[in-house]
Amino acid sequence: MSELKTLQEKIEGKLKMLNFTVEDTAKILQAEDMKAIERHGSALESVIDETHQLKLQVQELRIENDDDPAEIRNWFETLEAQIGKFEETLKEVKRVAAGIRLAEEEKREEEKRKRILDDEIELEKAKIEARAKLEKTVKRSSEDTENLSSLGAKLPKLEISKFQGTFLDWIRFLNQFETEIDKAKLTQVAKFSYLKELLVPSVRASVDGLPFTTEGYERAKSILKSKYGKPSEVANAHMQCIIGLSIIHGTHPAKIHEFFEKLTSHIQVLETMGKVKEISGFVRATLDKLPDIRADLVRLDDNWQEWGFPELIESLRKWCDCNPIPKEDQNPEPPKCDFSPRDPANRNSSNRYQQNRNPPGEKHAFQTKEESGKVGRSCVYCNGEEHRSADCKKVPGLTQRRKILSDKKLCFNCTGTKHQAQDCRSKYGCQHCGSRHHTSICDRLSGRNQMMLVTGNLEGSVIYPVVVVVVDGIKCRALLDTGAGSSYASAALVEWLNKHPTHVEHKQMEMMLCSTFQKVQSYTVKVASVDGTFEMTTKISKVDKGVLLTVPNPNYEELISKYHHLEGIVMDDNDTKSELPIHLILGTSEYSRIKTETKPRIGQPSEPIAELTMLGWAMMSSGREAGPL
């Protein structure tokens, strides 16, 4: 009975709580504070639900105690009536809340409609003003023309150059002919005569047989437009000229001005045709044709990787303004395209564009500003203006330099911002060893004596830093190469992964006589340690080789037992084959992510070094400089 009494007392307490809460309802609803109304409704609903639960518990106990059913039912109905009053209050609270919510929504919609209406009104006003301005300009131009006519002003006679029968010359000829001849007040026969006189013999032959009539004139224009005026062919001809622009080595203003004029003339035609966006993918390749001023062009814009041709031309124009052509080098001849691809007059020719090559003995300039004795960019390590990053004396250590690059989130290849080394589009690498990392963090020997990961030519046994990893569930060996700007995977590994490429791009490859574009497929994969304690997502580029390379088996167990400083090291690779296949190369960006604070195990100068990474222990031959990979 004590439990039943306790429950009944709780019900009485809940009813008192409900009465107390309901007393504030009118005041809260009158304030129309949405948050307060919602809190009040939640409080009422919570107490009512708890009261219902207690009611059921009391009813169950009284039935178990064999109380009179009629008395139980009477008690139940009385309590239900009391609770019903509070539920009606709760319904009113919810109704008011819904009304306020609906009113707020209608208010927002009304404000939105008003904003849209205001925008439309402003747009109409702008259209009316623009139309009035245009009409005023046209009227003034017409008045000026009439004034000139009344004064009898004589303008110089315009001469139209003959059409050469090429896609490149078509837009120029068509615009001039339509403006000066086709729209003039002449008979159709006279226009046909002018047209034939403005064609070179090889082109005129295609319309010579037509009659000197209006129909013949229209047919002649149709023949020329169908043969030379196809938008796709015209755009392609100018695009091929842009692709075929010669690489300009050095900083000679005359050559760069000529390059700028050629590029500008082709881009202007493509802009007129509305085709310039279709070739935006060739901006980077065009920029790479100016390797020795490339740094000057992009230095002031961190978003240069997003450039289109208009931005490139504007940057090149500013450079030309700052570097005028010396008087003795000025050339009055207009720029010409290196070749006219797919033009009818050239289809049987064997012309092929060639890249400008440095004369024997001439060295490439790696810093444009060095030629004038100035540094083109401050040191990224100490911010000094008087030396390059590679010559920094304040931060000489390679480990500290790599840490600064990592902390500043700079590219390990070009020290640029907003991209990693694996995404770096610069075609230059280390000036010491030629690998894809910045010269200032090179830890290899310069020249031919450096250890090359694929074609090393050192005497004796070489131990390469190799770890066993799991790539999306596929176990394989990965070579840690701090000289690689990107990470690479073999074609066999990509096939086992059965993944689709996340990115496909065409990179320019320099060959003996020309430049070619090669398709490179990139994939996003997860690289994890064998024990599963570490995992990272990275981007890899596919190499069309079944195996990237093979390295000699160092027999890790024998090395660990032979050298005391290697005691306790556990290697994940216990293969006994003489040669070990490598299917993955992890570059400098990935190395910075897997590096740990554990000090490397270093023995005597001729003994191997071991370093703990997030992917496991890696062992390598010692070099002149004991340090990290």
Give the pLDDT score at 494. 92
Beta strands in 372-502 (DSSP E): 466-471, 474-480, 488-490
- Would you state the structure tokens that stand for residue 503, as one six-digit string? 């990115």
Give the pLDDT score at 154. 52
Distances (CA, A) of 241 to 236, 237, 279, 351, 517: 9, 6, 12, 13, 15
The ranges of the chain with pLDDT < 70 are: 1, 142-158, 328-377, 422, 427-428, 432-434, 443-461, 506-518, 623-629
Place of tokens 């120029």: 172
Closest CA to 534 of 542, 526, 546: 526
Give the pLDDT score at 216. 86
Give the pLDDT score at 359. 39
Q: pLDDT tens digits for 15-26?
A: 888 888 888 888
Give the pLDDT score at 485. 73
With H, G, I as helix, E, B as strand and everything else as coil, classify residue 292: coil
Give the pLDDT score at 5. 82
Listing DSSP states for 179-198 in one string gives: IIIITSS--HHHHHHHHHHT
Listing DSSP states for 269-282 in one string gives: HHHHHT-GGGGGGG
> In the chain, what are the domains?
2-121 (1.20.58), 167-229 (no CATH), 233-346 (no CATH), 459-620 (2.40.70.10)
Distances (CA, A) of 396 to 380, 392, 406, 596: 12, 6, 16, 21
Give the pLDDT score at 489. 92
Closest CA to 339 of 328, 349, 353, 326: 353
Mean pLDDT of all residues belonging to the chain: 79
Give the pLDDT score at 619. 92
Q: Are 241 and 337 in contact (CB under 8 A)?
A: yes
CA distance 292 to 315: 15
CA distance 527 to 538: 7
Listing DSSP states for 34-71 in one string gives: HHHHHHHHHHHHHHHHHHHHHHHHHHHHHHHTT--HHH
With H, G, I as helix, E, B as strand and everything else as coil, classify residue 629: coil
490: left (phi over 0), alpha (psi -120 to 50) or beta: beta
With H, G, I as helix, E, B as strand and everything else as coil, classify residue 388: coil
